[in-house]
Amino acid sequence: MLDHRDFDAEARSILRRNDRGGYTVPTAGLYPHQWNWDSAFAALGFSLFDLNRAWTELETLFSGQWQNGMVPHILFHQQDDGYFPGPDVWGCNGAVPSSGVSQPPVAATIVRRIWDNDRRIGEERIRELYPKLVAWHRWFMTWRLDRDAVCVTHPWEAGRDNAPDWDDTLSGIDATGVGEYLRRDIMAVDPDMRPQKHDYDRYIWLINLGRDSGWDEARLLERNPFRVADPAMTFILLRANSDLAAIGRELGKDVVELDEWTDQLTVGAKSLWNPEIESYDSRDAHSGKWSGCVSNASFLCWYGGLRNNNMLQHFNRIMQAVPYWIPSHDPDSDRFDRLRYWRGPVWPVMNTLIGIGMEEAGLDDEAQTLRESTAELVRTGGFSEYFDPCDGSSAGGKDFTWTAAVWLAWVSGKNGKGGWARYS
Ligand code: GLC
């Protein structure tokens, strides 16, 4: 078995191997472009051994920012026929060919972390990035709120593609006109581990709707039947926004607007508490109906800065139900599917956000348990995309950038408890 240092070296090597010059692909083959939140994690990983490269990753991501402030979930810097749906399907015309939806905005939190590593090296670069981050957050606050919680307008925007959270809303969409298309993902990975055709048809239908609406947010607000308030998006933006305000303050900026957003989102996050299941849950913004899902997103409450422990009951129950934590969907639910992507598997990247939040909230024992469980999965199954919570086997794509990055930043625990690793 490899010892820690070998794993650290392998993690760094994965980041280097997935580097395409200025940006990092999530994994070769399956995901050959730049993905938004993957890239922010890549920057976090790079920041531990190559600060300059870390900043470049973020700068490349923001080179694709739209004029309205949106930062797309995929940037297609190069042509690659191995990925579907490509830029022609999305039909967007920003500075860089891209998708038309965004992804969870972890970037500001990671930028703050990276800047803290070395203020001097980061000074000029953060001054350039800061207004871009503000513009992106403003775009969320303008176009994505429902009762001050943050909505997703496509399952891919959530980053939790086929989570059961979206099932009811997706079922209301008649996708018969979507036509024929060739899925590339099930050529690269076992179809039993990927979203099903019913879901995929609706993903494509929603892209067609966006493209036919010219990706005009005002029009889509009226036309898009898929609008779901999501705990992950809400907690992540809430956290990122207070980190951005902290950066702004240090740079001598006026942060009144950002502080107002933080207050607003704190109220909105609380609106996602579903008393029927006693959990943070997602909610269809059109119908007001709950999804009824305890998911790994529900446990991001601490990361979002909420300081009550009302999710611990579920945490303790789930610890009894499966041996590896935290499954992406409640193992006691009949929609749990241990290998199917966001319907059951454990994602190290989500565990990292959850664990960091727990540490900050003083839940040291729980965070430590989660860290050890995650480290064991990686030590036995490698830097995979996700893992089976029932037997710990690795699944999905291999040599994943964000799994390698979070190994270095949190999972390996080489800096002890109490936060994220630092550049050394
Ligand atoms: C999948 C994941 C998403 C991630 C992308 C690239 O679509 O659901 O969260 O960003 O793969 O890794």
CA 348 to ligand 1 centroid distance, Å: 13
Ligand 1 pocket check for 104: Cβ under 6 Å:
no
Indicate the pairing of strand 279-280 with strand 34-35: unpaired
pLDDT at 206: 98
pLDDT confidence band for 308 (50 / 70 / 90): confident
Q: Is the pLDDT of residue 219 over 80?
A: yes
Q: Is the pLDDT of residue 6 over 80?
A: yes
pLDDT at 193: 85
Per the prediction, the chain carries an average pLDDT of 95
Pick the residue with more confidence: 376 or 420? Answer: 376
Could you tell me what percent of the chain has a pLDDT over 70? Answer: 97
Identify which of 27, 61, 161, 402 to mutate to test ligand 1's pocket (most ligand atoms within 8 A of the CB): 161
CB 375 within 8 A of CB 412: yes
Ligand 1 atom nearest the C-alpha of 31 is: 6
Q: Is the pLDDT of residue 419 over 60?
A: no
Catalytic residues: 161, 385
CA 302 to ligand 1 centroid distance, Å: 23
pLDDT confidence band for 418 (50 / 70 / 90): very low
* Residue whose C-alpha is closest to residue 382's, from 367, 361, 396, 398: 398
Ligand 1 atom nearest the C-alpha of 161 is: 8
Q: Whose CA is nearest to atom 2 of ligand 1?
A: 159
Reported as a single tens digit per residue, the pLDDT across 35-93 is 999 999 999 999 999 999 999 999 999 999 999 999 999 999 999 988 999 999 999 98
Reported as a single tens digit per residue, the pLDDT across 318-362 is 999 999 999 999 999 999 999 999 999 999 999 999 999 999 999
The rounded distance, in Å, linking the Cα atoms of 82 and 188 is 9
Ligand 1 atom nearest the C-alpha of 159 is: 9
Pick the residue with more confidence: 123 or 34? Answer: 34
Identify which of 15, 30, 38, 194 to mutate to test ligand 1's pocket (most ligand atoms within 8 A of the CB): 38
Ligand 1 pocket check for 37: Cβ under 6 Å:
yes
Torsion of CA 203, 209, 215, 221, to 10 degrees: -100
CA 220 to ligand 1 centroid distance, Å: 23
Three-state secondary structure call for residue 118: coil
Q: With a threshold of 0.85, does the pTM exceed it?
A: yes
Ligand 1 pocket check for 38: Cβ under 6 Å:
yes
pLDDT confidence band for 424 (50 / 70 / 90): very low
CB 61 within 8 A of CB 75: yes
Q: Whose CA is nearest to atom 3 of ligand 1?
A: 159
CB 35 within 8 A of CB 42: no
CATH topology of domain 4-411: Glycosyltransferase (1.50.10)
CA 34 to ligand 1 centroid distance, Å: 11
CB 385 within 8 A of CB 395: yes
CA 156 to ligand 1 centroid distance, Å: 8
Largest CA distance in the chain: 56
The distance from CA 317 to its chain's CA centroid, rounded to whole angstroms, is 25
Backbone angles phi, psi at 74, to 5 degrees: -130, 135
* Residue whose C-alpha is closest to residue 335's, from 200, 193, 165, 156: 165
* Domain boundaries of the chain, sorted by first residue: 4-411
CB 157 within 8 A of CB 166: no
The count of other CB atoms within 10 Å of the CB of residue 266 is 17
CB 420 within 8 A of CB 112: no
The rounded distance, in Å, linking the Cα atoms of 200 and 182 is 11
Structure tokens, 381? 């199954």
Structure tokens, 230? 């999501």
Ligand 1 atom nearest the C-alpha of 26 is: 12
The distance from CA 197 to its chain's CA centroid, rounded to whole angstroms, is 23
Half-sphere CA count of 86, side-chain side, radius 13 A = 11
